[in-house]
Structures are given as structure tokens and as C-alpha cells.
Chains A and B, each alone.
Chain A
Amino acid sequence: MNRRQRTRILVEDEGDLLISLCHYVENKVPVRIHRQSSNGCVMAKALDAVQRVPFFLGEILISECTVAIDNVLGFGAVLGDDTEKAYRLAVVDAAWNKGTLPTEYWVTRLKEAEAELVRRHREEFAAVSQTRVRFETGSEYDKPR
């Protein structure tokens, strides 16, 4: 499980997985704040779909934090104003970098949360798909020319 996949699951999870993971780490090893969790912004880069020219779409508010476990750093960032979540993401990241976390138990929990996320997205897409247009055209239209 790579970092992007892991952070996606943790950011999008609506349960208590991130809080549980963070508590687990905090109870196991001392966590030092390297850079206080605070608000910042990200400039969003985008690619013009027509000419493929990169440009800046605008800025996005995020919360970000950096912590250390035995001098091993971890970084957490989340869209919006949620400094607590950014801190927890940083703790999990540091523990992962340190090698404390990737146990079979937690990987299984992450995969379960990922399955739940996929299920949620499928449900939303199923609802959106109800608005798919089924075109019916008159026979005139379909006549070979």
C-alpha cells in the first residue's frame, strides 16, 4: 500500500480509523511536534484540456502538520480547516516511516476502509447514473443516407 493510497483512505474515511491509528501510535511511542498543525494553502495546478498548457487554477485551503517519532518525520495534510486531522495524519505517516505501523492488523483495517470508500462512491455514482439520458430517435433520423 503506497503513501497516496493510504492517505486517500485515511482522509476520506468517515469512521474512526484515523483516530484509532493515532491513539495506537501515541500510546506506543512518544510523538514530537516538528511543525505545529496550522492552516496553509496549496496552489492548484491544472492542465488546459484543449491545448494541454499547465496553468494555476487557484488556491485551496489546507491544514498541514509535521511530527517526528525518534527523529523520523511524518507529514499530514488535509483539505480545509481541520488541524486535528492534519496532526493525526502526520502521526500515522511518521509511524509508517518509522516502521511502527504497517502491521497486518492495521493494513487489514485500511483495506476494509478502502472497500467502504469504494462502496460509497459506487452508491453515489449509481444515483448520479439514474440521470443518464436514454435517447430515443425517430426512424427518420436513423435512415441510411
Chain B
Amino acid sequence: MGYVAVKGGQKAILASSELTGYYRLRHAPGSLDVGMLPSQMRFLVDRVMSEAGFYAPKHAALALKQAQGDVYEAAFLLRAYRSTVPRNHVSLPLDTQGMRLIRRISSAFRDIPGGQILGPTFDYAHRLLQFDLLDEPPEAIAQVLKRVEDRYSAEEDQEPALFPRVSDFLREEGLMAPPHPGAGEEEPFDITRFKLPFPAPRSARLQTMARGETGAMVALAYSSLRGYGAVHPTIGELRVGYCALILPYPLENGESVYAGELLITEVEAINGFAGTEPGEPVQLVLGYGVSFGQNEVKSIAMSVLDRALDVVSGTEPVHDEEYVLSHIDSIESAGFISHLKLPHYVTFQSELDRLRTVRQTPDTGSREGIR
């Protein structure tokens, strides 16, 4: 059986494209202002950037407008755009410990140096629709901003502190293994340039999950929490904040330049304890999650999966590195599912032919070959 190229449908495709635009605007009171999305739809923009693996808030907002809110399509558009711009630099390692925090919590320890800062979150919000948002006049917006800004002066002049990581305390107490000697010197694997190998280097695993699809990762992590896996962690620390993007200065070795700051979410999840070598004390083991923007559920899910992939004795899918890493990329998964919409006339006709043949054969007891 071979493939047969078919032609036709160009006019229909063009008309369909125009109709898609028509449906975007048919009942719209005006064109959506892309500039409003990075702030007023910030979680959505963050999600698209994270799943595209490309930090560009304005472009993510445009992709969402063009895709009419379809997150899969928007992430695809953004990743496609990314492939058109040259990559001339690799940044210096982001200093997540020195990030300018807007949120930091721990569900493992009540008292962490620097304290727990709720920051912007829906965690404690009532899930009731706020109908006043339907009509939000400028005075109402001004009032919302003023309420918070008025507190600026009320607060004592306070230097933003450097918040040490919870994992650092655990290491200091000897409750957690130190990093492998020489771990920081490895050159990271780059999944955007090379095919993902299995078993995957840790750097490839983290890169794959950092741009994984939120729903897929949450579903897999959830399966572990529900018992289809061995990992059910406690959040040692979840932090959200701005990290400086520092580039090596291309005109002089050893120099660097600041290019801006980006919002990221980072999670350390504590997963019980495990022995290392016989005779050595048992220690806590942590899972790590991180993503562009404020993407908390995804980052937590990543920290669960990170640990789950280290549980070699697990038999459930969540412990299978190839299973997890091969099924969490939104462009690949949505693309493959979407291809089912495309013509399969020849393959399906072939199946029908086989079915008819089998039914015409006197002995139809065997179903071999029928899917």
C-alpha cells in the first residue's frame, strides 16, 4: 500500500481561512488590544511562553489573539516564530536564588528565613464570579491600583532581601546529599538541536519538562499522587520572581551585559527519604521544577515527575522516562492528534477492502488483521 497525493480544495482552504477571521470578529465590539494581554491574561501568556519554550510576552499575546485563544495553536505559532530568529547567545546561568521575589511559600516548614510571602495568588480566593469586572471603568482600575500602592509608603524602607533556598538548610543539616562533585561543569544537552536520547541526561530531562504541556504534566503527576506512582511530595519551597538575564559580552572575554529580567517559577519538592550507599545515613530526596512565567501547577507537576523518573523500581507509566518525556510536548502531541483530521482516504479504504474480503470469506471466525 502506498500514499496517493490528492489535489483540490485550495479555494475551500482559502475561504476557510477567511471564515476563521470572520468568526474572530463577527460579534466583537472591537479588535482585542494585544498590549493588554501580558498583564490582564498573564497566566495564559505565561503558559503559552512556557509551552513554546520561548520567552516573548508580546509575541505570545499576539499568538493568542491570532489563535483566538487556542493554547495549542498559540504555542505552535510561537515556537514556529522562534525558529525564524537566530540564536547568537547562551546566557550566563540564571541566578534564581537572587531573583526579585514576588511570591515564596513552603508547605514543609512554617518558619523559613525571610518568611512566607503569599504574593499574587488565587490560592485563598473565593471561587465566585466577580460580575463587577464586566464593566470596569477607569475609576475602578485606579482604585485597585491605589489600594496597593498606598501601602508602599506605609511599609518601612525595606531592602529586598536575598532569600536562601530551603534545600540549602537541609544540606547544611546533612539531611540532603550534596550535589555530585563536578555536576555544575557538565555542558547541558540541547533538545532544540539534537534528538532526545534515552536514557536522557538530566539536563535534557529538565529542558523537556520545562517546555512540557501543562495538562499532560499535571495529569501524569496527579496519577502518581493518586497511587499510580510512588511519589507524593511536600513542597519544600515554591518561589516566583524576576531573574536577571545576563549575556556574555561578545566584544570582550569575561565581561557581561544585562538585557532585562524575566519572570520564572521554581519549585523544590521533598520526597521522603532514601538511602544512598549501605552504611550511609538516609537522606531526603528532592524533585525540581521550573518554568517561564508564573506557572505554579506545572512547576509542581514537573518537580513530582522529576523525582518519579528517578524511582527506578516503579512500574507505573509515571516512572518510565521514555513514556513521560515523549508525551508531554504540546506541539508534538497536539500535532499528532490533529493529523487525524487530515485525509486518510487511502488507508481507510484499504481497511474497508480488507473488512469486505473477510466478510465474504466463508470462515469469518478469525479476526486476525482487523484492528
With A56-B190, A57-B94, A127-B155 already in contact, the answer to whether A80 and B56 are too (CB < 8 A) is: yes
Looking at the assembled complex, report how far the CB atom of A120 sits from the nearest CB atom of chain B, in whole angstroms.
Answer: 10
What residues of B have a CB within 8 angstroms of the CB of A11 in the complex?
258-260
Residue ID in chain A nearest B191 by CB atoms: A56
Q: How large is the interface on B (under 10, 10 to 19, 20 to 34, 35 or more residues)?
A: 35 or more
Q: Which residues of B contact A3 (CB under 8 A)?
A: 249, 255-257
Interface residues of A in 21-51 (CB under 8 A from B): 39-51
Distance of A75 Cα from B158 Cα, bound (Å): 35
Across-interface contacts of A78 in B (CB, < 8 A):
259-260
Say whether, besides A59-B53, A135-B110, A129 and B100 are in contact (CB < 8 Å): no
Which residues of A sit under 8 angstroms from B127, Cβ to Cβ?
Answer: none
Answer whether residue B283 sits at the interface, using C-beta atoms and an 8 A cutoff. no
Q: Which of B13-21, B144-152, B330-338, B345-353 contacts A (4 or more CB under 8 A)?
A: B144-152
Task: State which of A50, A54, A128 has its C-beta within 8 Å of the C-beta of B186.
Answer: A54
In angstroms, Cα B89 to Cα A76, docked, is 13
Those of B83-110 within 8 Å (CB) of chain A:
85-94, 96-97, 100-103, 110
Q: Which chain A residue lies CB-closest to B256?
A: A4
Does B206 make an interface contact (CB < 8 A)?
yes
Q: How far is the CB of A4 from chain B (nearest CB, A)?
A: 5
In the bound complex, residues from chain A placing their C-beta under 8 Å from that of B184 are 47, 52-54
Q: Is the CB of B179 within 8 A of A126?
A: no
Q: Whole-angstrom distance from the CB of B197 to the nearest CB of chain A?
A: 15
Tell me how far the C-beta of B150 lies from the nearest C-beta in chain A, rounded to whole angstroms.
Answer: 9
By a CB distance below 8 angstroms, the chain A residues around B152 are: 123, 126-127
**Would you give the shortest CB distance from A53 to chain B, in whole angstroms?**
5
- Residue A103 CB within 8 A of the other chain: no
The answer to whether A48 and B202 touch (CB under 8 A), given A39-B85, A42-B247, A122-B160, is yes
Chain B residues with CB under 8 A of A53:
179, 183-184, 186, 188, 202-203, 206
In the complex, the answer to whether A51 meets B179 with C-beta atoms within 8 Å is yes
With contacts A56-B190, A128-B117 taken as known, whether A75 is within 8 angstroms of B249 at the C-beta atoms is yes
Q: Is the CB of A42 within 8 A of B90?
A: yes
Q: CA–CA, A77 to B171, complex, Å?
A: 38
CB atoms of A81 and B118 under 8 A apart: no
| Chain B residue with the shortest CB-CB distance to A5 | B258
B250 at the interface (CB under 8 A from A): yes
Give complex CA distance A121, B242 in Å.
11
* Interchain CA distance A61-B119 in the complex, whole Å: 27
- Residues of chain A in range 74-113 having any CB-CB distance to chain B below 8 Å: 74-81, 93, 97
Contacts of A139 in B (CB 8 A): none
A123 to B158, CA, bound (A): 8
Chain A hits for B203, CB < 8 A: 53-56
Q: Are A40 and B88 in contact (CB under 8 A)?
A: yes
In the bound complex, residues from chain B placing their C-beta under 8 Å from that of A97 are 251
Q: Smallest distance from the beta carbon of B231 to chain A beta carbons, Å?
A: 14
* Interface size bracket, A side: 35 or more
**Cβ contact within 8 Å between B117 and A58:** no
Residue with the highest number of chain A CB atoms closer than 10 Å, among B58, B103, B117: B117
Residues of B within 8 A of A61 (CB): 54-56, 59, 82, 85
Tell me whether B57 and A129 are in contact (CB under 8 A): no
Q: In the complex the two chains form, what is the Cα distance from A125 to B167 in whole Å?
A: 23
Q: Which of B130-177 contact A (CB under 8 A)?
A: 148-149, 151-152, 155-160, 165, 167
B287 within 8 A of A: yes
Bound together, the chains give a CA A25 to CA B10 distance in angstroms of: 55
What separation, in Å, do the CA atoms of A62 and B82 have in the docked complex?
11
Which residues of chain B are within 8 angstroms of A42 by Cβ–Cβ distance? 87-91, 245, 247, 259
* A75–B245 alpha-carbon span in the complex (Å): 15
| Docked pose: A76 CA to B119 CA in angstroms | 33
Which B322-343 residues sit within 8 Å CB-CB of chain A?
A: none
In the complex, chain A residues whose CB is within 8 Å of the CB of B180: 51-52
Q: Within 8 Å of chain A (Cβ to Cβ): is B47?
A: no
For residue A3, which residue of chain B has the nearest CB?
B255
> Which B residues fall within an 8 A CB radius of A?
49-50, 53-59, 82, 85-94, 96-97, 100-103, 110-111, 115-119, 148-149, 151-152, 155-160, 165, 167, 179-180, 183-184, 186-192, 202-204, 206-207, 210-211, 244-247, 249-251, 255-262, 264, 266, 268, 286-288, 290, 292, 306
- Between-chain CB contacts (< 8 Å), 7 pairs: A43-B87, A49-B268, A51-B179, A79-B55, A79-B261, A125-B160, A133-B118
Known A41-B87, A45-B93; 20 more pairs at CB < 8 Å: A41-B88, A42-B245, A43-B91, A47-B94, A51-B202, A52-B183, A53-B183, A58-B49, A59-B87, A61-B56, A61-B85, A62-B89, A62-B245, A62-B259, A79-B245, A93-B257, A121-B160, A128-B119, A129-B155, A131-B118
